[in-house]
Structures are given as structure tokens and as C-alpha cells.
């Protein structure tokens, strides 16, 4: 079975971070989302993986390379503009051929894996098998109407009155039957070829289309809040490891990873916490549920439930919580007590405590 990753989205909900990096490269537990996706597909046994990329293909190829270090072979498939998930399948046809394949949205995290669902697809080989997840607000998603045996009866995109609570999430399994469906549909009102329309086309023609419920942790990492939740979720299984320097005046509590070249000086770290290679934590408190990227500096500050990306500096800040601090960013204390000095980029969102 081959695999297809969709990584051409613009990530407007993750601005300002997505201005300078593809949203699929946002690090979760100090590892880009796309790396998590590639490793998940490798664990399913998919070693031939196509990656649909947009105008930031260079950065994605730079992060993933040939795929050799993950034990897979990657083929990059350029998409001129995001024209829908079914359009991505259409342009990937030369790579996919007539093979069965799994399609995985490159900004989705399913931390418990879908091995059982993939195995079921291989055994049954329906024309298509979607992955669904029970959600509290189904009107915000594409919703599947499913019978008692798991057959899909109907798909409805963001229905006003949902027929159930099973949302279609970002993993799909297909046989070559999907290609005829993609060829048959037309662009939707928003000008895109919708994969839900292609799957519905199969349903209406009596093809066997199945749904399997995924009951683990799932997030679309398109918003900062979801990035933070995913980070906390993955850190739950963190194994302590200290390969950097920790001085005698520092305290490590719980699952803490200190990578090579990192230094912890007169600081208290409460796990789960990762401190990336080459970073310095001095006279500070870090954690829980915090990841510090590579070559960062945190001095005289307290950081909890946050991500600090590579090369950032946080100096003299009393307390930072629930935050994402971008690469090479600098966060410092204001010169006048009670005043905040802010340099805010386009489309950014800033929340300042009173």
C-alpha cells in the first residue's frame, strides 16, 4: 500500500507562524508535524510515500529530504494552488497508479495510530474506507451517516442539522476506484474538487464504502490551541534523559529531557519538559508541558504549557503560559513596571494580562 500526504495548505489560522514556515513543519514535542505523519505511515507499512506540496516545497523537502532517514522513499508532487483534496489525488495519479493507498492530511495528529483500521482495510478492501471520530459539534465538520455494519450511507459537509456525531477526519484509505470518482465530480461552490463529493459518488453507485471509528486523541493542528494540546498529549509518554549539563543548583522533577549541548543553570524544571540541543536555561522555571527548541535562551523567566521554537530568547519575563514563541523571537521584560512594549506582526493575535 502506498501513501499520499497532503502538505500544500497555506495555514492562515496559524499566522503569524505560517508566514515564515509551512504549518506542517510546526514542531510538536520538538518534532515537525510532518515527521510525525511520515513515521506514522511508515509504521503502517507504507514505504512509498507521495507528498503533495505547494509554494513552500523547498522548506518541506529540506525538512524531510529523500525519506531515507525514516526508512521510506518520498516523492514530491507539486500543486500550483490548493484546489481541494480530490484535486491532490488527481495530480498524484502518476505516482499512485492503480495501487491501494492511504491519504493523510499533513496537519493532522492521531497520536494513538490507526494500525487496526489499516489492517481492516487490507483484509476487506472496500472501494474506500474513511476514518471518523465522535465530536461534540458535528456541524463544524464533514459528517458521515453510517449503518449498523459500518457502511457509509451519506456524507454531508458541515450540515446545519447533523445526522450524527461522526466527523470525517484526515485519514482515508482508497482502492483505485477513487480515480473514476475524482474524474466524475465537478468543483464545488468554493471552486475545489472535494474528496467528500468523490466518496459520495462511490456511495451513490453502490460501491462498498466503509467507516471506522478512531477513538484516540486527534487534532487538526491548524490553530495555536490545537498545537499546544498536541504538544501536551505527546509529552505524556516522555522518557527522562539527560545528555546535557545540569548544575548542582538545579532541580529536575518528573520526565525531563535535556539534549546534548544544553545547559541548565540554577533552574527548576518540572516535567514533562524537553530542552533542545544547545539551549541554555538559567535562573528560570520551566514546565510542565513545555518544549524548548534548539539554541534557545531562557533566563530569569518562568515558562509553562508552552512551545519555544529554535533560536528564541526569553529574558526577564515573570511568567509565560499557554504560548508559542516563534523562531529567533525575543521576549523581554518592559522597562517600566505595569507597561507592555509590543512589536506585533501582521495578522497576529496578542493577549496581554491586566
**What CA–CA distance (Å, rounded) separates 319 from 332?**
11
Share of the chain above pLDDT 70, in %: 90
Rounded to the nearest 10°, the torsion over CA 12, 13, 17, 18 is -30
pLDDT digits (tens, 9 = 90+) for 224-280: 889 999 999 999 999 999 999 999 999 999 999 999 999 999 999 999 999 999 999
Q: What pLDDT, on the 0 to 100 scale, is given for residue 344?
A: 45
**What are 242's three cell numbers?**
539527560
Q: What pLDDT, on the 0 to 100 scale, is given for residue 349?
A: 52
Q: What pLDDT, on the 0 to 100 scale, is given for residue 134?
A: 94
**What CA–CA distance (Å, rounded) separates 216 from 110?**
7
Pair type for strands 142-146 and 209-213: unpaired
Q: Domains in the chain, please, with CATH?
A: 2-220 (3.90.550.10), 238-332 (2.160.10.10)
What does DSSP assign to residue 24?
Answer: G
Q: Dihedrals φ, ψ of 31, to 5°? A: -140, 130
Higher pLDDT residue, 351 or 134?
134
pLDDT at 17 over 70: no
Q: Dihedrals φ, ψ of 167, to 5°? A: -85, 140
Contact present, 77 and 52 (Cβ < 8 Å): yes
Instruction: Quote the pTM value.
Output: 0.89
Mean pLDDT of the chain: 90
pLDDT digits (tens, 9 = 90+) for 98-147: 999 999 999 999 999 999 999 999 999 999 999 999 999 998 888 999 99
**What CA–CA distance (Å, rounded) separates 25 from 47?**
21
Amino acid at each position: 500500500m502506498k501513501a499520499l500526504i497532503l502538505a500544500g495548505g497555506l495555514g492562515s489560522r496559524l499566522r503569524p507562524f505560517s508566514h515564515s514556515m509551512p504549518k506542517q513543519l510546526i514542531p510538536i514535542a520538538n518534532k515537525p508535524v510532518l515527521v510525525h505523519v511520515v513515521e506514522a505511515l511508515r509504521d503502517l507499512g507504507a514505504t512509498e510515500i507521495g507528498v503533495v506540496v505547494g509554494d513552500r516545497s523547498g522548506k518541506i523537502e529540506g525538512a524531510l529530504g529523500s525519506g531515507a532517514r525514516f526508512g521510506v522513499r518520498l516523492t514530491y508532487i507539486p500543486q500550483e494552488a490548493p484546489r481541494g483534496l480530490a484535486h491532490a489525488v488527481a495530480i498524484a495519479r502518476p505516482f499512485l497508479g492503480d495501487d491501494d493507498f492511504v491519504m493523510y492530511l499533513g496537519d493532522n495528529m492521531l497520536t494513538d495510530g490507526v494500525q487496526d483500521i489499516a489492517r481492516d482495510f487490507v483484509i476487506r478492501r472496500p472501494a474506500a474506507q474513511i476514518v471518523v471520530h465522535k465530536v461534540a459539534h458535528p456541524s463544524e465538520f464533514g459528517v458521515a451517516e453510517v449503518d449498523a455494519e459500518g457502511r457509509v450511507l451519506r456524507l454531508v459537509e458541515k450540515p446545519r442539522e447533523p445526522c450524527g456525531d461522526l466527523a470525517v477526519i484526515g485519514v482515508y484509505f482508497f482502492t483505485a476506484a477513487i480515480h473514476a470518482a475524482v474524474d466524475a465530480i465537478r468543483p464545488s461552490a468554493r471552486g475545489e474538487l472535494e474528496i467528500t463529493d468523490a466518496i459520495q459518488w462511490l456511495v451513490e453507485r453502490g460501491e462498498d464504502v466503509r467507516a471506522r471509528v478512531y477513538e484516540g486523541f486527534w487534532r487538526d493542528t491548524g490553530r495555536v490551541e490545537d498545537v499546544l494540546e498536541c504538544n501536551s498529549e505527546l509529552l505524556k509518554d516522555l522518557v527522562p534523559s539527560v545528555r546535557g549539563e545540569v548544575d548542582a543548583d538545579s532541580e529536575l522533577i518528573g520526565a525531563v529531557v535535556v539534549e546534548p549541548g544544553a545547559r541548565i543553570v540554577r533552574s527548576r524544571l518540572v516535567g514533562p519538559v524537553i530542552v533542545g540541543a544547545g539551549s541554555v536555561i538559567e535562573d528560570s522555571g520551566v514546565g510542565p508541558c513545555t518544549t524548548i527548541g534548539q539554541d534557545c535562551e531562557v533566563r530569569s523567566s518562568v515558562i509553562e504549557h508552552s512551545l519555544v521554537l529554535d533560536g528564541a530568547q526569553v529574558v526577564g519575563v515573570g511568567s509565560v503560559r499557554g504560548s508559542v514563541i516563534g523562531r529567533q523571537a525575543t521576549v523581554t521584560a518592559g522597562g517600566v513596571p505595569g507597561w507592555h512594549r509590543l512589536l506585533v506582526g501582521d495578522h497576529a493575535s496578542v493577549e496581554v494580562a491586566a
